[in-house]
A and B are shown apart, each in its own frame.
Chain A
Amino acid sequence: MAVIRDVMPAFELFQPATVDETLGLLERYGADAWIMAGGLDSFDWLKDRIKRPAVVVDLSQMMDLRGVRDVGGGLEIGALTTLTDLVRHPAVQQRFGLLAQAAELVASPQIRHQGTIGGNVSQDTRCWYYRSGWSCYRAGGNICYADSPTAVNREHAILGASRCVAVSPSDTAPALIALGAEFVLRSRGGERVVAAEDYFVGPDINITQMTVRRPDELLTTIRVPDRFAGAQFYFEKIRDRQVWDFPLVNVASAMTLSGETIQEIRLAVGAVAARPLRLTAVELAVAGKTRNEQTAAMAGELAVDGAVPLRHNSYKILLMQNLVKRAIRGGPMQGEGG
């Protein structure tokens, strides 16, 4: 689909060295400014000339907001930390393996060396009608091309659709929700902290945005509390090719057990709705239950309650059900594919 052209259309380029400078630029240019961290979601938009920002605020020269800090058993992750640095960090590997697993499954090595965690959770949807510049609801128009009779919608939503059927593409988002992370957003006006699951919005709330971030805000830090440090984790991503491809469905769970009894669990699923979905009903239903086949089966069924398939994606319902089952059980059943 992509067409190689000579160069991108011109834009004014700023390379702030500090957070304060960045916030100044965002305040000044507002919606005209495009934040570029690793740029790996940005370049498609700019090269395809679908989005034409007047100003690009490139964060490559900023040394703040990089790296992971160990704070009292939890983590403070700078938004500009690359996925590779995240995967390699000892505290992430040892205590929050769920996040390391999710980040390791993103795209390809070169993309992980450059793509940032802030960019990964803030990236836009992959719906190709929208990304090709069709004037759909999400782009300010009044139709969803992915939900028309002839649409190619194998990758689209089965839950939470409201006019738009695009899905959240991020692999790290469900892991951060399962870990109970918080996102710190800063603007010239101050700072606000939102729970990971509240960073993302569905089309019922805002059809043109994937997150609650305002144009004058910078995502600075992701805080992961110590609550689930070293807990039982499960992450699985299903995709067509084992490199590059976005999730068809992914699942992340963090669970604490007392013997075989599930004490506490947080569970999230990606690529089934416009936002990564935290499955609160399932969490409540399995808490206090014995971790066994029966509980897993019940969780799987409950998870897909109310799912509505489009013409080409009914497979996602069964896929999501099975992934949730595995997350509760802690893996595939014997004899089941890996």
Chain B
Amino acid sequence: MTEDRLKNASRRQFIKGVIAAGAVVSSSAYLFRSIPLSGQPTAAGSVERLMTLNVNGQQRRVDVMRQETLAMTLRYKLGLTGTKIGCDRSECGACTVLIDDVPRYSCSVLTHSVRGRRIVTIEGLAAGDGTLHPVQQAVVDEQGFQCAFCMPGFVMATVGYLKSNPSPTREELAHAVSGNLCRCQDYNKILTAMMRGAELMRRA
């Protein structure tokens, strides 16, 4: 059993490694594509590709294309695949992360625009020892989701909202997560789980 787990874990790591390498290879095509700007050299104020991102409390050095979105960087450069891409058009919420505590759609944020800002993804919620964040624990307790593709987005939107309103009514919380869609469609169960998360947070 333990061995099996280890095997699975390393297989997962391996797959992630391949994904990351693939992204680097495909991005080199962009690296060398130059843009005709009436022959001018890169102007002052233009952005350097190599940057440091503050993600889940860590400083991560990463090479980012100018046109890259945060969702792409998180998933394919930093291996943080908990952030999902559903629509890539600001229309579903699956990609929601916190930027300076505010829930935003990472599919619609240029990575270069959040240099120096505090980014938190679903991977950054649990404590170092693996203890789940209260809202995550509530998801487990209440079995709030079905396929759970939308879950990281809902959890991040909720965690962000609870920072400004720790004791929301069910209606207020529904409004706060109204920018998140679920295809499996049991919003009531989701809300029950999120409300329980709020309660667990108040108790903690």
Contacts and interface: CB of A to CB of B under 8 A. Distances in A.
Pairs A-B, 10 closest by C-beta atoms: A108-B179, A60-B113, A13-B66, A8-B67, A110-B179, A4-B88, A13-B47, A243-B178, A109-B179, A2-B89
Interface in A36-50: 36, 39-40, 43-44, 46-47
A21 B44 CA distance: 10
Interface of A: 2, 4, 6-16, 21, 25, 28-29, 32, 36, 39-40, 43-44, 46-47, 54-56, 58, 60-61, 107-111, 113-114, 242-244
A12 B45 CA distance: 11
Contacts of B93: 108, 110
* Most chain B Cβ neighbours within 10 Å, of A8, A11, A110: A110
A8 B27 CA distance: 11
Contacts of B36: 54
Contacts of B33: 10
A58 B45 CA distance: 11
A15 B103 contact: no
B103 A110 contact: yes
* Most chain B Cβ neighbours within 10 Å, of A11, A12, A55: A12
Given A6-B26, A12-B46, A110-B90, A40 B67 contact: no
**Secondary structure call for the A interface:** mixed
B14 interface: no
A58 B89 contact: no
A11 B35 contact: yes
Nearest to A14: B45
B108 A43 contact: yes
B66 A109 contact: no
Given A2-B87, A61-B113, A107-B90, 9 more contacts: A4-B87, A7-B27, A7-B65, A10-B65, A12-B37, A13-B66, A40-B108, A54-B37, A109-B176
A35 B63 CA distance: 24
Interface of B: 26-27, 30, 33, 35-37, 42-43, 45-47, 65-69, 72, 85, 87-91, 93, 96, 102-105, 107-110, 112-114, 157, 161, 175-176, 178-179
Contacts of A32: 37
A244 B27 CA distance: 32
Contacts of A8: 67, 69
Contacts of B88: 2, 4, 47
Nearest to A38: B108
Contacts of A44: 89
A58 B37 CA distance: 17
Contacts of A244: 91, 179
Contact of B90 (A40, A61, A242): A40
Contact of A4 (B85, B104, B109): B85
Contacts of A46: 67
Contacts of B113: 15, 39, 58, 60-61
B21 to A, nearest CB: 15
Contact of A43 (B42, B90, B178): B90
A48 to B, nearest CB: 9
B89 A43 contact: yes
Contacts of A12: 35, 37, 42-43, 46, 66
Contacts of A4: 85, 87-88
Given A54-B36, A110-B105, A60 B110 contact: yes
A39 B67 CA distance: 12
Contacts of A109: 103, 157, 161, 175-176, 178-179
